[in-house]
Amino acid sequence: MHTLPNTNVRKFETFPRADDMTPRRDPRRAPKVTIDDVPEDLRSVPGVVRDRAQETFFGRHYPEPNFKIGKLNQTYHKVIEATPGKVGETYRILGDKYGDLLARVNARAFSYHELPAAETIDPSPDFTKAIREKALSSGADLIGFTRFDRKYVALEQKGDALFKHAIVLCRAFDWETTDRAPSVDWDVHSYDTSLALALAALEVADFIRSKGYRVQFIAGTGLPGEKMLAPILPYAVDAGLGQMGANGTVLTAEFGSRVRIMGLSTDAPVTHDKPVDIGVNTLCEKCQVCVQRCPGRALSKIKVNWHGVTKYKVVADRCLPVLRFAECNVCTKVCPVQHYGLKAVLDHYRKTGGEILGKGSDQLEGYDMFEKGHYGPGELPRFDAQEGGKGLKHMASLLGVGTD
Ligand code: SF4
Ligand code: SF4
């Protein structure tokens, strides 16, 4: 078994602070970007290209199932129990390092909405600034506010969502460790970062509750055994933290996708941020580095209309087998936006008339895939069917652990 021990949480247990738990290394923060920094030919729309009527239709009548409890994720866990790859090593290190702490943090986060707020309500009309300061001093690197739009709540959790505002928090991964992905060291660091962000989020939640308001965790802690109400990415985009990249996640100007993202909802009064256009929608069409470098061939060069949103869609069945290699993360490692910062990428694009900074170089595109060796630009590892080369479901059926 590769799950961590489960324990009942003591509701008022005091947890360590984020930066004490996982001290900072090199988050390598790039400058913020505004539309003025974006070359004309890369401008599109704030946030994502979307058809709101279609989104509402799908959200109401065909909501997305909860991936965390879905069949594909169950199959993945059966596969890593049968053949754990490097993930088993990560879980062993986490167990030695943290014991049952990760399970206790998960338990606190996912029962947090049961905790009462302070009896006396702070009369301040708006807590945005205070919550922002609290989050940044507790270990988050970025924070944004938006409406907790119920249409993104997962099928199985419809009706569980309590509050109307969403708070999205990010904490950056170390730059140098990310540059060595995939590696067990990176994988362990990614969980360290998830733990740090979850601890920061719990501090923010305690702060809001001390003001007389309540909090519910809406998206996963990123820790093994996490639960979620809704996927976090639509809220991160709506809160103006970035735009969706071809690697299937949000690219921030400051860190690209080199961030863990987490979400809370609350009834405390806050002011919503707005989606931004920082050029990513069109930049990804020109760049395509992650699409070409993905060892699982799980990324697509075309965008699709998915439930009313025009976006790149990751083929999870092809990505999941590669996650056994320490969560892979090649699609973040090779992204010029995380490596150099968006501002540097946009400036280079403008100066050169359309070149993508670092594209074609081994420094950006190269990676080591454990014992398979090093893969430079234009080279990809091959996986046989037993290793998942024909997808997770096929691999599961070969191992005799399929859930179909
Ligand atoms: S994690 Fe790896 S396999 Fe999955 S999409 Fe990213 S690069 Fe591809
Ligand atoms: S590697 Fe290029 S295409 Fe992929 S997410 Fe980054 S900028 Fe977009």
Ligand minimally distant from the alpha carbon of residue 336: 2
* 116 burial via Cβ count (<10 Å: 0-12, 13-18, 19+): exposed
* Closest atom of ligand 2 to CA, residue 256: 6
CB distance 298 to ligand 1 below 6 Å? yes
Which ligand does the CA of 313 lie closest to? 1
Please, where are the H alpha helices in 180-251? Answer: 184-210, 233-238
Cα 323 to chain centroid, rounded: 14
Look at residue 215 in the predicted model and tell me its pLDDT.
97
> Is the C-beta atom of 342 inside 6 A of ligand 2?
no
pLDDT at 2: 39
Q: Do 211 and 118 meet the contact criterion of CB atoms below 8 Å apart? A: yes
Identify the three-state secondary structure at position 345.
helix
**193 Cβ closer than 6 Å to some ligand 2 atom:** no
Pocket probe for ligand 2: among 244, 283, 287, the residue whose CB has the most ligand atoms within 8 Å is 287
Please state, in angstroms and rounded to a whole number, the distance separating the CA atoms of residues 45 and 26.
Answer: 32
Distance 356 CA to ligand 2 centre (A): 10
How many A from CA of 331 to the centre of ligand 1? 5
Atom of ligand 1 nearest to the CA of 248: 5
Residue 245 CA: nearest ligand 2 atom is 5
Pairing of strands 49-50, 309-311: antiparallel
Residue 323 CA, ligand 1 centroid: distance in Å: 7
Ligand 1 contact via 330 beta carbon (within 6 Å): yes
Distances 19 to 23, 44, 261, 318 between C-alpha atoms, Å: 5, 38, 17, 35
Closest ligand to residue 315's CA: 1
The pLDDT score that the predictor gives to residue 403 is: 59
- Residue 374 is predicted with a pLDDT of 97
Task: Spell out the SS3 assignment of 22-91.
Answer: CCCCCCCCCCCCCHHHCCHHHCCCCCCEECHHHHHHHHHHCCCCCHHHCHHHHHHHHHHHHCCCCHHHHH
Alpha carbon distance 368, 160 (integer Å)? 43
Task: End-to-end CA distance of the chain: give it in Å, rounded.
Answer: 21
pTM: 0.94
Q: With a cut of 50, which residues of the chain have pLDDT below it?
A: 1-11
| Minimal-distance CA residue to ligand 2 atom 8 | 284
Q: How far is the CA of 179 from the centre of ligand 2 (A)?
A: 15
Contact in structure between 403 and 330 (CB atoms under 8 Å) = no
What DSSP state is assigned to residue 356?
P
The predicted structure's pLDDT at residue 9: 37
Q: What is the CB neighbour count within 10 angstroms for residue 384?
A: 10
